[in-house]
Amino acid sequence: MEKKTKKTKKINSATLDGFVAKKVEVESSFTRALPGFSIVGLGSQAIQESKERVKSALLNNDFEFPPLKITINLSPSDLKKEGSHFDLPIALSIMYHNRDIDLNEYLVLGELGLDGRIKDTNSIFPIILSLRPKKVIIPLEAANKISKIPGIEIYPFSHLSEFNEFNPKKIENDEFNYDFIKIKGKKYYYKSDFELDFKDVIGQAQAKEAALISAAGFHNILLEGSPGVGKSMIINRLRYILPPMSLEDILEVEKLKAIEGKEVDFSPIRPFRSPHFSATKAAIFGGGSRGAKIGEIAFANKGILFFDELPQFQKDVLENLRGPLQDKKVLISRVNSKIEYETDILFAAAMNPCPCGNLLSEKECRCTDLEIRRYKNRISEPIYDRIEVYHQMIEDNDTSTISSQEMFERVLIAFEMQEGIFNSNLPESYEFKIENEARDLLNKAIRNFALSKRSEFNLLKVAKTIANLDKRKKVKKEDILKALKFRRRGNEASI
């Protein structure tokens, strides 16, 4: 007797490939044959285990589990799929196998408990953020964070039994409650709560000015000084005075948080990553033998990547910083996968002036000239060349203070002057507005210090930020002078 197959149903879902989502069609076929249940299409172990979760959830809620041969295909079949969020689309395929309910207009995601509860997973938020579908069916517990993504109709469910009579109810998108400024009609959000405040840093006025310039223009910064002089204190406070974030920036940061398994809170405080100097190249940049995984530099996107004790990092780690700092992206290639991700970071670093750390302090330095040269030569000139703001810190008796609130107010001024585009990200073709005296001084600096084109461009970007902090767009002579003051020179590296 000929076997008859009922019409194939299709429900849209998705999987993460690295941290980019790709659509997946959950196809179901029901054949009159010996009862069975199989899932094909390169599903992970979590997806294979979905069979037991789905079957238990259906039977525990008095749904019929058809006595047929059930085949679930995850298409495209040559794409590896991961995640327990395929439970819900698989269950709905079986529930509606003999009902005329079309779910093609929805993206369906959700994990099932054995009792039929629909649960959130770490993959759901980054998938929806990546794909930006028009309509989604998701767990109710995920609705709050998904509602922050504009332009998406959200239909949440908390239990499988709610699908018995399919009557989806849309919830409204949520708004951000943070302070914001508008630039060219676009909102940029910020918080005025400073968990770590610059007022705790006594003295070191020039180092704090360097930090202010770095924050205002998103310039890479290096602080050099003896232990205890305040390098890490300043850089740890830097993230709280960084410029406001657009909605797109906030969502991108939250997507990476969700992938890492962290709580998504939509705070407009930029990320701060500080890996230990023993971290491997794969931990910093991403990698993995089976599949490409992202690293610390990706999780620092839109924020700060801080290398404390810079010369102590592995040589291959330091040299591989060149590309991400210059091109603002990293490509990880493996046999079975390739991932390209954005690395729009502010690179911050701190280092001692010598191996023992006492060279610039009142304590006696135990290092020889050769040891000092070897220590500093661990950092190549191309890496130094990508540091736009440099300051050598010494112990001082200054007792002046400045609060993070005061510094952030100046950062806001500079950010508005930059019209939402950081000076550090200006294209090489950018034409600076510069006074004649400033141009003459710049040409003199190019000759005296033998500046490369990159060094000249970096100097101008920093000078423009200094001008923006003073509510000016045109670079003056004093801006060039100050930019030169915060530029690392070769003779300083060989103290």
The pLDDT of residue 1: 43
The model's pLDDT over 202-227, given as tens digits with 9 standing for 90+, comes to 999 999 999 999 999 999 999 999 99
The pLDDT of residue 495: 28
CA–CA separation, 310 and 276 (whole Å)? 10
- Residue 79 binned pLDDT confidence (cut-offs 50, 70, 90): very high
**Model confidence, pTM:** 0.91
Instruction: Please give the share of the chain, as a percent, with pLDDT higher than 70.
Output: 96
The pLDDT of residue 340: 84
The model's pLDDT over 390-433, given as tens digits with 9 standing for 90+, comes to 999 998 888 889 999 999 999 999 999 999 899 999 999 999 99
Residue 334 confidence (pLDDT) above 80: no
The total number of residues written for the chain in this structure: 495
The model's pLDDT over 9-40, given as tens digits with 9 standing for 90+, comes to 899 999 998 778 999 999 999 999 999 999 99
The model's pLDDT over 248-270, given as tens digits with 9 standing for 90+, comes to 999 999 999 998 888 899 999 99
197-494 fold: Rossmann fold (3.40.50)
Residue 339 confidence (pLDDT) above 50: yes
Residue 493 confidence (pLDDT) above 50: no
- Residue 6 binned pLDDT confidence (cut-offs 50, 70, 90): low
Cis peptide before 275 (omega within 30 of 0): no
Q: Where do the DSSP E strands lie in 145-210?
A: 153-157, 179-183, 186-190
Per the prediction, the chain carries an average pLDDT of 93
The model's pLDDT over 159-198, given as tens digits with 9 standing for 90+, comes to 999 999 899 999 988 888 899 999 999 999 999 899 999 9
If phi over 0 gives left and psi between -120 and 50 gives alpha, with beta otherwise, what is residue 283?
Answer: alpha
Residue 491 confidence (pLDDT) above 80: no
CA–CA separation, 474 and 241 (whole Å)? 24
Mark 250-282 as b/e (b = at least 16 C-beta within 10 Å).
bbbbbbbbbbeeeebebbbbbbbbebeeebebe
Per-domain residue ranges for the chain?
9-163, 197-494
The pLDDT of residue 333: 75
The CATH number given to 9-163 is 3.30.230.10
The model's pLDDT over 102-159, given as tens digits with 9 standing for 90+, comes to 999 999 999 999 999 999 999 999 999 999 999 999 999 999 999 999 999 999 999 9
